[in-house]
Structure 1
Amino acid sequence: MNDYVAPPRRDAEIDLLALCGALWKHKFLILGVTLFIFVCSTLYAMLATPVYQVESVLRPVALKHLDELNGTKLMELSPADALQRVGVALESYSIRLQFLRDNPELTAALQDGDEPLEQVLERLNRDGFTVLRPDLKKAPDSSPFVGLRFAFPAGVDGVAIVNGLVGAAVERERQRIQDDFSVLLANRLTQVESKIAAQRAAYDAGKEAKIAVLLEADRLQKVQLEDELRALRQQLLVRRQNRIKQLNEAIQIAERLHITKPTTPSALGDSQRETQGSIFRTEVNNQQIPLYFMGVEALEAERSALIARQSDDFSEPRISEIQKQLALLAHNREVEVLRDRANEELFLANLAALAEQRARLEHLKVDFSKLQLVQLDQSATAPSAPVRPRKLLIMALGLIIGAAFGVGAALVAVLRRGRPVVREERSRSLALRYS
């Protein structure tokens, strides 16, 4: 038989009445700790350097304020884009640094001795400046805006800093837009002038090419006509010489036949017969009568005329036509007109449109001093109270924390003296014996 005896079990519970009585006995300790922490928090709230906060809010302008700039067709700037550009300028490190350098009277209270402005700006960017923008995740339908918030200690003219920095950012962005506009305008004018110069060069080249083509065609035609003229004259000379040879042969034959006057073959045969009365002879012959029937006198007269001839040009109509064409080719009137043009710009293609565009660009003017990029919805004003420290909240937290620490200290003191507030009960379980 085995005997098993269960170990005793102890149940502990807190007696609240006894606990409250024990804490009451240490009420002065709790009150002292609470007062000490409360006094410390109050001193901090009273002695801590107050920090003030101001902010300025900008919103998009109406489209009419940008119409003068957009009407130039050189730049397209929407109100949202203008607001975005000013917001980027507000975040610019260089603009902030330049503003601090230009306003030493505002930054004197921010500097710690000989602290460089770069370090001052670094501290302000970390703890002072905050650029405000709508949170599209939390409020997707909120209207766009850009703002600048500045937290500063007492003695600093935060209102002047915020308003001045906003004004400097807007002015710097306006100057940048003006510089961009000037560069774009100069580039457009340069492009138009280049196009006009290209048009003039193309026109001059085209005119010279056309003159060269006309003169070359005239030279070619002139050379061809002169060659034809020489060939015709040579042909006429050969023809005249051949005619003289024919006449010489015919004269020899006519002398042998004793033909002095022009006659016909039938008349030559009848010259030996005697005839009575008047005879009318009609001779029809489809063959060419030999030249020697013209008689020696006629043939010699024609030969003398041919030998004495100085020129055969009159005998060929084509020669006069060639001489006419050569006379016309002596002066190309189209070339003379092309060379004598007084105002050649009138003949340039698209010159009128380019000249109009150049005149429009030369007279483009925008009064950037009146250009409104953003609308000042809220300017920075002097704060009525600091944003921190929040004295009442700090004092209330000091009171609560002091009370908690006081109660904690009292509990530690009670526990060190024993456990009077804890009640123990012992219970034994029945022993099970097995045999």
Structure 2
Amino acid sequence: MCANRAIGLPDDQDELTAFIVGLWNQKATIMIGAVLGGVLAAAYAFLSSPVYQATMILMPPPKNGIAELNLGRIKDTELAEYSVKDVYEVFQRNVQAESLRRDFFRNVYLPSLGEEARNSSLDDLYARYVKKIIISPEGRGPTERVTVSVLNGSPQGAVEWANAFVSKADAAAKKELVENVNREVDVRARNLGQQITLLRQNAKVAKEDRIVRLKEALAIAQSVGLEKPPMLGGRLSEEISTGMSGDLTYMRGTQALQAEIKNLEGREYDDPFLVSLRDLQMRFETYKGIYVNPDKISVFQLDGEIEQPDRPVKPQKGLIVAIGLLVGGAFGLLVALLRNMSRKVFKKA
């Protein structure tokens, strides 16, 4: 007993007991603080404008949804096929692009505000706006999804905004893909067109060169009086017949040379005599015939249907009231402690 007194335990116990009793005597103050905090929080919760959230879960498109992009993309055309991953990556980049957010802010969000609200700073309006559209990529690989959540003051408005935002991303992705296809096809078609033009020009020059050589051979044949090829027998005849070109072209005789010159000079089209022309023309027409209809392309698919929310996500009334009770109770407790301390100081004085 003496030891306990020496270390002061009884005094500490007395002080603790007095502290608890003092708080108990101030329970009305603590309760009033808690009730007051709860009432203020409830007033805020029930008077605040509700905020509804509409959510769309977007997944990679089906295989048949990108078939339109692969029209004409066969081995002979040297065009690489588009995969589901390629198309979905374009859509993901567009749905998360800052340019899309800015476009939606100017054309959808600002017109929905009242005239007084639109007079505020654009930076402040944009800062509030970016909190209303939440884009969250989820997963990896073929199961990768993108969740688009939109907040609005009405359930129908939230659904409309979500649909409008995703539709803009969808249109932007399709436009980019179609432009890529058209640009690639156009470049290849122009290259083939240049090859066809050069082939025809070269054929024309080669024909003119051929006529010059034949006319020179004709002059030689006329000078030696050779109208027809010489008739020789045996192996020597075969060797001369097969060698009637170059310097020996004149040995074909004036009749054959004049006939060929007349035929070449009267020929209007060299296309049938160009071996590789038809293949180039076929490939050229294949590229020119490629047309991608964006309405037949799918750059994503919706995982489930978007539903109109029936309960606001903000304010969370129960949570707000609970926090108000706790804060009010803590404030009442603080007041009670201050009152106890002031009384103790007064008694000692």
Tell me the TM-score normalized by structure 2: 0.74
- Aligned-residue offset at 1:214: 4.0
Q: Is the CA contact 2:52–2:152 (under 8 Å) kept in the aligned structure 1? A: yes
The residue type equivalent to 2:257 in the other structure is N
| 8 Å Cα contact 1:66-1:373 kept in structure 2 | yes
Q: RMSD between aligned alpha carbons?
A: 3.7
Partner SS for 2:12: strand
Return the match for 2:270 from 335, 344, 362: 344
1:375 to 278, 281, 301: 301
Structure 1 runs of 4+ with >6 Å offset = 220-223
Shift of 1:418: 2.4
One-letter code of the match for 2:126? E
Gaps of 5+ in 2: 1-5, 74-78, 226-249
For 1:348 and 1:84, the matched residues in 2 are separated by: 45
CA contact 1:56–1:147 (8 Å) conserved in 2:
yes
The CA distance in 1 between the partners of 2:261 and 2:121, in whole Å, is 76
- Cα separation, 1, equivalents of 2:100 and 2:285: 37
2:34 counterpart of 1:30? no
CA deviations on 1:86-107 (whole Å, 9 max, x unpaired) are 2332234544555566669x94
Q: Following TM superposition, by how much is the alpha carbon of 1:167 offset from its aligned partner in structure 2, in angstroms? A: 1.8
2:87 is equivalent to residue 82 of structure 1? yes
- Distance across 1 between alignment mates of 2:344 and 2:39: 32
Corresponding residue number in structure 2 for 1:171: 171
Give the distance between the partners of 2:83 and 2:125, measured in 1 at CA.
32
1:65 paired residue number: 65
Contact 1:110 1:120 in 2 (8 A): no
Cα distance in structure 2, aligned partners of 1:160 and 1:204? 65
2:311 aligns with: 385
Q: Where does residue 242 of structure 2 map in the other structure? A: none
Structure 1: gaps (5+ residues): 1-8, 227-324, 421-435
Within 5 A, what are the aligned runs for 1:208-287? Answer: 208-216=208-216
* Identical-residue share of aligned pairs (%): 24
| Separation in 2, partners of 1:326, 1:19 | 135
CA 18–96 in structure 1, closer or farther in 2 if over 3 Å, else same: closer
Bigger proportion of residues as helix:
2
Q: Is the 8 A contact 2:155 2:310 kept in 1?
A: no
1:394 aligns with 2:337: no
Q: Distance in 1 between matches of 2:155 and 2:281?
A: 62
- Conserved in 1, the CA contact under 8 Å of 2:60 and 2:142? no
Partner of 2:253: 328
Greater C-alpha radius of gyration: 1
The 3 A distance-change label for structure 1 pair 81 and 400 is same
Deviation at 1:128, TM superposition (A): 0.9
- The alpha-carbon distance between structure 1 residues 327 and 379, as it changes in their structure 2 partners (threshold 3 A), is closer
Q: Normalising by structure 1, what TM-score? A: 0.61
Distance in 2 of aligned mates of 1:31 and 1:196: 94
Question: Does the 8 A contact of 1:97 with 1:121 survive in 2?
Answer: no
Cα drift, residue 44 of structure 1: 1.6
1:138-153 equivalence runs, <5 A:
143-153=143-153
Q: How far apart are 1:354 and its partner, in Å?
A: 0.9
Q: Distance in 2 between matches of 1:69 and 1:48?
A: 49
Shift, 1:156, TM fit:
7.3
Q: Is the 8 A contact 1:83 1:146 kept in 2?
A: no
The CA deviation at 1:357 is 1.2
| Displacement after TM superposition at 1:113 (Å) | 4.3
1 CA distance for matches of 2:107 and 2:27?
Answer: 62
Partner Cα distance (1:117, 1:94) in 2: 20
Return the letter of the residue paired with 2:199.
Q
AA of the residue aligned to 2:25: K
> What secondary structure is seen at the aligned counterpart in 1 of 2:331?
helix
Structure 2 distance, partners of 1:366, 1:187, is 16
**Corresponding position of 1:313:** none
Is the 8 Å Cα contact of residues 111 and 120 (structure 1) preserved in structure 2? no
Give the partner amino acid of 2:49: T
Equivalent in the alignment of 2:281: 355
Q: Whole-Å Cα distance in 2 between the matches of residues 158 and 90 of structure 1? A: 17
Distance 1:403 1:141, change over 3 A: farther
